[in-house]
Structure 1
Amino acid sequence: MQSDQLIVFAVLAATLGLFVWNRWRYDIVALGALLVVTLAGIVPAEKAFMGLGHPAVITVAAVLVLSRGLLNSGVVDSLARHLTKVGDRPWVQVLTLTGIVALCSGFMNNVGALALFMPVAVWMSRQSGRSPSYLLMPLAFGSLLGGTLTLIGTPPNIIIAGYRREVGDAPFRMFDFLPVGLAITAAGLLLIVLLWRLIPRREDRGGDQELFEISAYMTELTIPDGSKYAGRTLRDLIVAGSDEADVMVIALVRAGRYQAMPSTYEVLHDRDVLLVEADSDSLKKFLDVTHLQLAAEADSKAEAREKAEQDKQAAKNGGQNETDDSESGSDRHRDRALAEAIVTPGSSLIGTTATGLSLRERHGVNVLAVARQGQRLRERLGKIRFAAGDILLLQAREDQLQSTLNNLGCLPLASRGLRITAPRQVMLASSIFAAALVLIALGVVPPVISLVGAALAMILVGLVPSGDIYKSIDMSIIVLIAAMLPIGEALETTGGSRLIAHALLEIGQAAPPAATVAILMAGVMLLSNVVNNAAAAVLAAPVAISLSRGMEASADPLLMAVAIGASCAFLTPIGHQSNTLVMAPGGYRFGDYWRLGLPLSVLVVLVAVPVILWVWPL
C-alpha cells in the first residue's frame, strides 16, 4: 500500500507540475495521469473511465448547454442592454457591471457570463473616457464570486455536492451554497467598489480618445504592383508614414526568403511583404498614407479575381450558371467586415496556426494581424501558433462574422451591437430554466435529471440548434473532471488523503477547529490559482473527508470550505479562465492580479469561515 501511495503522490506531483507549466492542455495531462495509475494497477481498468458517467460530469455538460440556450434566447442580452444607462461614475459602473455578472454566474457558466458582458464593459469605458482595465478585472472576479451562489454556478460546487454522498448524506442541494456564497459575494463586491483604484489602469500615453489600447499588432503588409514605393528604400517608406503613425518594421519577406530587421536602405520591390508591428490606430493611418495593402486581404482579393476570371472563361464554354457564380465570386470581398476578437481559453485555435487550420478556405476568415500581451511576435502570420488571450484582427463576411467567431471560440471586443431579441424566446428560455430550478429546490427530481431535462427542452424548442449542442460543451472540462475523479478516489483508497489530513490535524492541534477550516480553504485557494478549479476540488475533497473523520466532526463545513477555496482564484491570470480572458484586453501583467486579488482572497476566508461554521457546524 505504501508503494501505491508513493506512485499516487508522484503522479499528482507531476500532474500539478504540468498544470503549472501549461505547455500541454490540462485535459490531456489529466488523461495521461489516469492512464499511469491504471497501468500501475491502482485504479482497476474496468473503473478507469467510469468518471464519464459520474453525475457531476453530466451535470456540468447540461449546465453548459443551458448557458448556450440562455445566451441564444437573449435573456442576458436584455440585461446587458440596460447597463448602458447606469452613468459615468466609476464606482457605479464597477458595482453594477460586477453585480450583474456575479448574479448571472450563479445560474450559468461564469466564463459565458463574463464573455457576454465584456463588450459592454469596453463600450462603457470608451463612452466615459477611461481605460477598460478598471472594469475588466472586477468583472472577472465578480464572475468567480457569483459562481459560489448555487449548485450549478461552478464545477467545484457540483463536484463537492457529489462527494457528500460518500459520508452517507444526500448531495448538497441547489441553494445549499447560497448562504456562504451570498455572504462572500456581497462582501467581495463591496471591497472591489472600495478598492477599485488598486486596479492598474493602462492609459493611452498620447491622450487619444480611443483609450482601449491593446498590445501592438504584428501584421503583414504587401507592396502592391505599381506602388510608388517600389524602387525606393525602406527608409523612404518609414519616413512617409512616421508623421502619422508609429510603425516598426520587423522583417522583410521577398520571394519566400525571410530577412529579419532589414536595413533602412533596402530597396523595395513589387510584392515584397513587410512584417510590421503597430497598434490598430497607427496601422490604419500608415495604410491610409502609404496605400500599402494588408497581405491577407491582398491575397484574398487576388484569389477572388483569379476565381472570377476562371468562372468567366468557364461561362464562355459552358453556360449561364457559371456566369452567376463568377459574379458572386467577384463580389465576395465587398461585404467583408473587420473585427477585433480575443481567443478564449476554450478556442479551437489554441496551439494551431491559420495555415494549419486553413481558416480562409474552411471558415471564410482572414487573419490580418495578431497581438499578444507582453510578447513580440516575429513569425509570419500563417506560422504563429495562437494562444489563449491573443487578440486577432479578423476579416470575414459581415453576415457570417458572429457565427464564425462563435465556431472558432473567439469573443468580439468592439461593441457588437446587442442583437434584438424576441420577447417570446426570452420568456420561453426563462420559463424552462425557472421550472428546472423549482424542481431542484423542491427536491422533486435530482439536479442532474432536472438540468438534463431542461437542456433537452431548450434543444427541442430550438433555443439551442442541433449543430450547437456539442459546441456548447467544453469537452476539455468534461475530460478533466472524468479523468481526475478516479485519481481522487485512488488518493483515498491508498490512504494518501488520510496522510495529508493527518498532517493538517497536527498543524491545527494547537488551534481551534475554525483555524483548521481556514487553513484547508486557504490551501485549496492557493492550489486553484495554479491549477484548474475542478481539479483542485477533486483532489481536495477526499482530504476534507479524511480530515473530518480524524476530527470526528461533520464533513459538511470542510467540504464547503473546499468548494469556496477552489472557486476563488484571484491571484493569477492562469487560475481561472475568466482571469485569462481579461488579461490582454485589459492590458494586465501577470503580477497585476494580486494587488486586488490578495485582499479579496483574505476577505473571502475571513467572511466564509464564520458563515460556514454557523450554517454547517462541525
Structure 2
Amino acid sequence: MDLIITFSIILFGVFLFVRDYFSIDTTSILIMAMFIVAGVLSPEEGFSGFNNPATITLGCIFVVSGGVFHSGILEGLSTKIVKIAKTNYLIALIVFCCISGFFSAFINDTAVVALLLPIALKVCRETNIKPSKLLMPISFAALFGGTCTLIGTSTNILISSYAKKYNVEEFGMFEFSGAALCLLLIGFAYIFIIAPFLLPKNRDENDDFTKKAESYITELFIEDDCKDLNKVLGKSQLVNDFHVNVLSILRNGVLKHSFGLDTRILKGDILKIIVPPETLSQLLNFDGYTVKGNNRMKVAEEKFKSFNLYEVIIPFGSSLSGASLKEINFRRQYNSSVIAIRHRGQNKFDKLTNIKLREGDMMLILGQAEEINNLESNSLIVRLSEYEKKKTNYRKAIPAVLIGIGVILAASLNITSILVSAMVGALLMVLTGILKPIEAYKSVEWKVIFMMAGVLSMGTALEKVGGASLIADFIKESLGQYDAQITLSLIYLVTFISTNLISSKATAALMAPIVITLSNAMSISERPFLIAVMFACSLTFMTPMSYPTNTMVYAPGNYKFKDFLKVGTPLNLIIWISASFIIPYFFPFNTN
C-alpha cells in the first residue's frame, strides 16, 4: 500500500511541477508534508532534508559565494568587459560566454548572470548587437560552467550527497572537471559557430517598453469643479471609468508616494498618473482636470523630477515572486510605483495590481534612486537600466577571494570535506567583516534550501518503500539486451527530458537512488550513472523555465518560448550524444 501511495504522491508532485500552480519550493515542501501525513515517512525522516549534508553545504556555499560577489571583485572587471565586447558581435559573444562559464564554476550561476545582464545590455545599447543574440548564450555558458566543479551547482552537491548516503565514495572538487570541460568545449563551439544563425534577430523592445509606458504618463491638476472632488480614489471616475493608475500625489507642496484607494482627492492636488491611450482623449475633455502643459504644472514637474523610471527584473529567489503588487502593498512598502510589467513575453500596462509576479518578469518602476537601491540590495530586483560600475572594495575583495580559494583547495586536496571547508569559509566571511550577519543571511537562497529539503523526501520515500529497486529491476529487464553505455545514454535522455519538465533538483532526487540501485544490479560502477544524472540535470537548454538563468534572460532578450526550443534542442541532443561517449571514457563501468 505504501508503494502505491508513494508513487501517487510523486506523480501528483510531478503534475504540480509541470503545471506551475505553486512556486517550486512550495511544491517541494507540500510533497514532503504529504509523505509525512500519509505515514510513508516519519516526521524525522520527512524533515531530515533540512539537516542533510547537501542542504547544509549548499547554504554555506551561498554565503561564501555571496562574500566574493558582494565584495565587488567581479564588477571591477565591468569596464574592461564593456571595452572589449564593443569591438564586434563575435568578440562580445566569446567574452561574455567565457566570463559566465568561468565564474559559474565557483560562484552561484544565477548571481553571475544577474551581474552580467546589465553589462551585456549596456554593450547592446552602445552597439548594433541585439540582446536576443547575446543573452541566451550567456545563460547557456553559465550552465556549462556550473558542471565543472562540485560547488558549481546545487545539483552537483545533491548527487554527491546521495553517493555518500549509499556508501559510494563522494565526488572530489574537480573529479568530473575533465568530462565537463569536454562538454563545455563542444557546447561553446555550437554557441560560437551554429547558434548565431539560430538565435532570433528580435528587435530590442526594451526601449519601446519604456517609451510606450512613458507615453502613458502625465500629470493632472484637480480643479474646484472636478466631479471626483473629495471622493476616495477607489470610488472615483478617474479610476473606475478611465482606468487610471495614480502614481503619486503632490499636495500642498509635499510629494506623496505612499497612499491607497482610500485616499481622498482634494482641490489643488496634482496627480501623476498612467492612463491607457484609449481613454486619454476622453480624460482631456473631462471637466475639472487640467492636463500637463498648463503653467501651474511647472512647479509640480520640478517636484516629480526626483522620481525616475527604472527597468528591473525579478531574479530567482526574490520574495516578490509568487505575489501580486496588491498583496505586497508595493507602493506603500517601497514608496515606488510599477507602471508596466513584461510578464511571460507580454507587455502589461494596465490592471497590474492583480498580476502574479514571477521570476524573470521585467518591471518598469517609477521611484527614487534610494528606494531602487534598497530593493536591489535586498535581492528583490536586478536593475537593468542605468548600469553603473560599483567601486571595488579591495579591503574586502582580496580576503573574500582568498577565503573562496581556501575553501576550494581544502576540499580538493582532501584536507577536509566540502561540508567542513564550506562551513569554515562561511564563518570566516562573517568573522572577518566581509559580510555582516544580516548580509550572510540574505546571501542564502532560501528558496533553493527549502526546495532541496523538500525534494530529498522523494528519494527517501522511494528508497524506503522499495520503489527505487522496483524501477531499477524494470529498467534492467527492459534494457538487459543492451550494454552499459546504451543504458547510460537512455538514462541521460530520460533525465534531461524530465528536467525540462520539472525541477532539476526533483529529477536528481528521483533519479539518484534509482541509478545507484540499477548499477548495483548490473554489477558495474555507480559513478558514470551519477555523473550522467548530474550533467543531464544541469545542461538543460530547451525551455526558459528549465533553469533559473534561462528564466532570467527570457524577458530582457525578448525571447519567445519557441526560440529556446529552436536553439536549445539541437544543443541538448548534441550534448546527450557526446556525453554518452565522454562519461564512460572518464568514468569506466568496470569496477575493478
| TM-score, length basis structure 1 | 0.81
**Identity rate of aligned residues, in percent?**
27
1:156 and 1:186 map into 2 onto residues whose CA distance is 21
Partner amino acid for 1:81? T
Partner amino acid for 2:29? L
Matched, 1:547 2:546: no
Deviation sequence 1:483-508 (CA, Å, 0-9, x none)? 22122111122221222223322343
Deviates more, 1:345-354 or 1:368-377: 368-377
Partner amino acid for 2:199? I
Contact 2:213 2:339 in 1 (8 A): no
2:50 to 49, 52, 65: 52
Partner amino acid for 2:46? A
SS in 1 for 2:321: coil
1:570 and 1:28 map into 2 onto residues whose CA distance is 24
1:610 and 1:217 map into 2 onto residues whose CA distance is 52
Residue 292 to residue 105, structure 1, CA distance change in 2 (3 Å): farther
- 2:423 aligned residue: 452
After TM superposition, give the deviation of residue 27 of structure 1 in Å.
1.4
Partner amino acid for 1:175? F
Matched, 1:486 2:457: yes
SS in 1 for 2:221: coil
- 1:414 aligned residue: 385
Partner amino acid for 2:276? V
Matches for 1:11-26 after TM superposition, within 5 Å: 11-26=9-24
2:341 and 2:277 map into 1 onto residues whose CA distance is 9
Contact 1:345 1:388 in 2 (8 A): yes
- 2:260 aligned residue: none
Matched, 1:225 2:234: no
- 2:336 aligned residue: 365
2:429 and 2:556 map into 1 onto residues whose CA distance is 33
Residue 215 to residue 491, structure 1, CA distance change in 2 (3 Å): farther
Contact 1:65 1:473 in 2 (8 A): yes
Contact 2:315 2:379 in 1 (8 A): no
- 1:123 aligned residue: 122
After TM superposition, give the deviation of residue 429 of structure 1 in Å.
1.1
Residue 214 to residue 368, structure 1, CA distance change in 2 (3 Å): closer
2:372 and 2:366 map into 1 onto residues whose CA distance is 8
Matches for 1:147-158 after TM superposition, within 5 Å: 147-158=146-157
- 1:76 aligned residue: 74
Q: What stretches of structure 2 of length at least 5 have no aligned partner?
A: 228-234, 245-268, 279-289
SS in 2 for 1:356: helix
After TM superposition, give the deviation of residue 363 of structure 1 in Å.
2.6
After TM superposition, give the deviation of residue 117 of structure 1 in Å.
0.4
Matched, 1:200 2:196: no
Residue 144 to residue 128, structure 1, CA distance change in 2 (3 Å): same
After TM superposition, give the deviation of residue 551 of structure 1 in Å.
1.1
1:535 to 483, 502, 506: 506
- 1:35 aligned residue: 33
Contact 2:6 2:35 in 1 (8 A): yes
After TM superposition, give the deviation of residue 552 of structure 1 in Å.
1.0
2:401 and 2:465 map into 1 onto residues whose CA distance is 46
Contact 1:125 1:132 in 2 (8 A): yes
Matches for 1:559-578 after TM superposition, within 5 Å: 559-578=530-549
Matches for 1:275-354 after TM superposition, within 5 Å: 275-276=275-276, 292=292, 335-354=306-325
- 1:254 aligned residue: 237
Aligned length: 539
After TM superposition, give the deviation of residue 38 of structure 1 in Å.
1.5
Partner amino acid for 1:135? L
SS in 2 for 1:392: strand
Contact 1:218 1:276 in 2 (8 A): no
Partner amino acid for 1:427? I
2:558 and 2:491 map into 1 onto residues whose CA distance is 33
SS in 1 for 2:276: strand
SS in 2 for 1:150: coil
After TM superposition, give the deviation of residue 356 of structure 1 in Å.
3.0
Partner amino acid for 1:197? F
Partner amino acid for 2:201? R
2:13 and 2:215 map into 1 onto residues whose CA distance is 37
Residue 378 to residue 423, structure 1, CA distance change in 2 (3 Å): closer
Contact 1:214 1:586 in 2 (8 A): no
Deviation sequence 1:501-551 (CA, Å, 0-9, x none)? 233223433332111111111111111112221111111101111110121
Deviation sequence 1:452-479 (CA, Å, 0-9, x none)? 1111111222222222222221212111
SS in 2 for 1:469: helix
SS in 2 for 1:170: coil
SS in 1 for 2:382: strand
Residue 179 to residue 344, structure 1, CA distance change in 2 (3 Å): same
1:436 and 1:271 map into 2 onto residues whose CA distance is 55
Partner amino acid for 1:123? K
1:504 and 1:457 map into 2 onto residues whose CA distance is 47
1:464 to 410, 435, 449: 435
- 1:324 aligned residue: none
